[in-house]
Amino acid sequence: MASNEAIPTWEQVATDYGRVIYNFAYRLTGNRDDASDLAQEVLVRVRRGLATYRPGSFEGWLWRITRNAFLDEVRRKQRRPTTELPAEDRSALVTSPTPDDVLAETRLSDEMQAALLNLPYEFREAVVMCDVVGLTYQEIADAAEVPVGTVRSRIHRGRLMLRDALEAG
């Protein structure tokens, strides 16, 4: 958005970005409950943050909020390890989808989802932001607050790790 952008209401953000935020969250977490919680938390933060938001890079601002919400959630769960499934069991969440999921997802996408969940976070985030959300490298760099060269490296290495995981699986 340009600097003379009209600041949206949070309801407009929910309408315009809700689905892509939810899909970002789903691909990062691998399950609908966490994705719903995370997407709702993002919208709560957007609602609070819009009061002090100043026109600039709205998408950069939005995706910084989104990734920070996700990282906060990861940290919160790490403080309560008994509620976190072991990493090796998380693939069960995507290989045993709910009936609703079955209609929408193929075996290939389940394998890809399982491979995504095994990527280290910074690679998973970069790949999902690029290939699921559709952000440019610069937009990802703004959101993750890292140089563009780092984003380029993470995307490529992330894709190579996914390739290796899919070939091994």
Partner 1 sequence: MHLEDRLSAYLDSELDATQQRQAEEHLVECAECRTELSSVAEVRDQLRSLPVVEVRAGTFEDVAEVVPLRRARFRPMAAAAAVAALVVGVGFGVAGNQSVPLQLNQVVEQHVARASSDPGFNVLQVQAVANR
Site of interaction with partner 1 (CB under 8 A): 10, 14, 18-19, 22-23, 26-27, 32, 35-36, 39-40, 43-44, 47-48, 104-106, 108-109, 112-113, 127, 130-132, 136-137, 152-153, 155-157, 159-160, 162-163, 166
Nearest distance from residue 92's CB to partner 1, in Å?
A: 18
Nearest distance from residue 2's CB to partner 1, in Å?
A: 22
- Cα(162)–Cα(117) distance, rounded to whole angstroms? 10
For partner 1, which is the closer residue by CB, 26 or 63?
26
Nearest distance from residue 31's CB to partner 1, in Å?
A: 10
Nearest distance from residue 63's CB to partner 1, in Å?
A: 17
For partner 1, which is the closer residue by CB, 28 or 67?
28
C-alpha closest to that of 20 among 106, 117, 132, 100: 132
In this structure, which long-range contacts are made by residues 9-15, counting pairs with CB atoms below 8 Å and at least 24 apart in sequence? Answer: 9/50, 10/43, 10/46, 10/47, 10/50, 13/43, 13/46, 13/50, 13/62, 14/43
C-alpha closest to that of 65 among 92, 83, 88, 38: 38
For partner 1, which is the closer residue by CB, 38 or 86?
38
Length of the chain: 169
For partner 1, which is the closer residue by CB, 10 or 81?
10
Report phi then psi at 56, rounded to 5.
Answer: 180, -130
